Amino acid sequence: MQFRRLKNVVKSSSAICAVTLYSAPAFAQSQTDDDFLGTVVLGESKREVQTQTATPVTRIDQTEIDDRQPGTIAELIDSVPGVNLVNGSTPQGSGINIRGFGANNTFGTDQKVAVQVDGASVGAEELYRIGTQLFTDPELYREAEVIRGTVGSFEYGSGIVGGVVRLETKNASDFTGGEPGFKFRQSLQFSTNGDGITSSSIFAYQPSQNFEILGNFVRRSQDFQDDGNGDEIGASEFDLPSGLIKARLTFGQDLDQTLTFSLSRSETEESDVPYDTFLTSDDIFGNVDREVESTTAVIAYNYNPADNDLINLDVNLSYADQVIDQEYVDGSSSCENFGCDFPFPDGGFPTVNADQEYETTKLTIRNTALFSTGAIDHNLRTGIEFARRERKDAAAAPGGTDDRFALFAVNEMQIGEAWTVTPAIRYESSSIDGSTAPNDGNFDNDALMGGLSVRYAFGNGFAVFGSAAYTESLPIIDDLGNTDLMEQSEKARTFELGASFDGDDVFQSGDTFAIKANLYQTELWDVTSYTVAGAPMGTNPDSIDTRGIEIEASYAMATGLYVDLNANIADGDENPPSGDRIDWRGTPADSLQLTVGRKFGEELDLSWELVADREKDTNGVTTPGFAVHNLRATYIPQSGVLEGTELRLGIENAFDYDYTRHLSTRPAPGRNIKFGIAKTF
């Protein structure tokens, strides 16, 4: 055990040294003062490529969040290969699509992309014509992590085919530096397209090294935006106040325990806006007055004794509540004014007047144990999870409860210096009770799922890896109206194969280069989430097959020049019962994102970004390709009266190009100039 701990310390120290080399000049010197080797400076890119793992994962840190000045979480993570947006520029009517699954133009989610905030599972199920996955503000978060596919998802849920989005809220120590004291940070952002304005006020107080508390209030508002043709984009207006309170206490022997509490809330009130936030049904449904409230509360406990590698215990109790209240605006439906082929009820369609509420309470207990068996070092994560989801009964949306129990284990085994073998397993059971007739039955289901990833490192920066994973999506409350669906889970199998390289001084002294490519193939069968296009309701595809390649690369020079590249090539098929294979409607367009920039010390960062999609044909319907250009500048004076002030300028869609991204139902915004200023006092 002592050897294991010493080994971890060495690894940690190496990581710290690497960070130091990347972020500042490092001085190399031999054992004698006379043999000074000179200053070694390594370049730094915007984003680190995660080459050390077989899992397809991307992390976006606070620096990149600030640099991008995103309006939504979707706008923040859309630079991740395999991630595509459905109307990502607004909190309503938008969603995340990963590897062809997630949000679509009918429902905000299909349960195959999970979103977690500080470990809490957030979001709704299948709300018709309403997208709700992203109802929060990016200013509340310090880090976003995207896990693509299934193999890295077994700690976070079942039925995850697209991937997992994990968000971590800000801490007070991010601003106090871990030292006692008080810090106040104020930031303002302005955007020209839609006259957007965002204010974020952060109060960070650390009365002692053992206790910290943070308060963050954000107000983000935007008028209607224009597309590249100068036309107004419907459903693009919003006013979104958000808040966060977070406290952390460190205590116990050797300060080996922490207790963290976080409470975040976002809300919006809209008047006379389209019920269909995707704008795919003209004005048949009409307009509504809508109020949305999203609340997430988390209590997290960690116990990590310094003298016991077998214990690193995390207990996470979370509660997420999402409420959508809406009421039809008289006279706003074309059916009410001009008639339709079906009767129009007084007061609007029941679906339009439906008030929705989802409450999810979850308890997760996880332990990480480090130990060795012969030549194999283990990082074993085991856990147990209890969850209850309650849904309010509403028109076309049955109410009920979904109680779930899960066990999971992930064992990362390091065999020598070359091999890493990681088996993972998850067992989950569900018990769903309907609250109203005729959806008042009880349905029990369970599933055993798991996967295996293998990575081989050659010792010269190169590595190859592969994985296989199987998961099941258990029935949800939304399916209570169909007994057949309540007794059938969806199954999915994914295979992946990839390679990576990471090295320093590759092309010249002081440079860094990293690249990772990942091939995947997924089959989904026993499909219940989708109805075949043009077929009678309830006609589900027999199976859905998707495949693609994701590439991430970064290169940086000691001079400050850097290049980041992300690319995604995807394809997919849908197999209806008729046997006539058709294109899978969720497949994104092939995409490329290239960033070229230059850092001038810690003071100035200038970058140009190209975002391009290839023309996409899906079952005879063609979405034109596009290429748009974004410019960004971050200036942080290191001296003088403006020392410590952060000034940011961004020009998105610089040439005001008119386009609609594939999978989106609304045109993209035209040229948008963003200016931000922030200061920590």
**pLDDT exceeds 80 at position 27:** no
pLDDT grade for 580, boundaries at 50, 70 and 90: confident
pLDDT at 131: 64
Tokens of 371: 């130990």
DSSP state of 123: -
Cis peptide leading into 438, omega within 30 of 0? Answer: yes
pLDDT of residue 144: 94
Distances 221 to 91, 195, 228, 237, 270 between C-alpha atoms, Å: 11, 8, 21, 8, 12
What is the model's pLDDT at position 132?
61
Q: What is the DSSP string of 557-625?
A: -TTSEEEEEEEEEEEEEEE-TTS--EE-TTPPPPEEEEEEEEEETTTEEEEEEEEEE--EEETTEEEPP
- Cross-strand bridge partners of residue 680: 185
- Which two three-digit tokens encode residue 261? 């509490």
pLDDT tops 60 at residue 210: yes
Confidence of residue 93 (pLDDT cuts 50, 70, 90): low
Residues contacting 592, CB < 8 A, separation 6+: 565, 566, 567, 568, 610, 611, 612
Distance of CA 339 to the CA centre of its chain: 42
| pLDDT confidence band for 342 (50 / 70 / 90) | confident
Read off the pLDDT band of 544 (50, 70, 90).
very high
Half-sphere exposure of 481 (CA within 13 A, CB side): 10
How confident is the model over 123-138, as pLDDT tens digits?
A: 777 777 676 656 889 9
In DSSP terms, 635 is beta-bridged to 604, 647
Asked if pLDDT for residue 19 goes beyond 60, the answer is no
- Find out whether 298 and 316 touch, Cβ atoms under 8 Å: yes
CA atoms 18, 23, 24, 25: torsion sign? positive
521-540 mean pLDDT: 85
pLDDT of residue 89: 74
Instruction: State the DSSP code for 347.
Output: T
Q: Which of 204-218, 375-389, 439-453 has the least mean pLDDT?
A: 439-453
Token pair 């960062």 is found at 605
Average pLDDT, the chain: 89
- H helix intervals, 307-436: 334-338, 350-353
Percent of the chain with pLDDT over 90: 68
More confident site: 335 or 384:
384
Predicted pLDDT at 219: 96
Task: Give residue 395's pLDDT.
Answer: 77
Going by C-alpha positions, the residue among 594, 630, 504 that lies closest to residue 44 is: 504
Whether 41 shows a pLDDT value over 60: the answer reads no
Average pLDDT over residues 438-465: 93
Least-confidence region, from 194-198, 346-350, 497-501: 346-350
Which of 375 and 106 is assigned the larger pLDDT?
Answer: 375
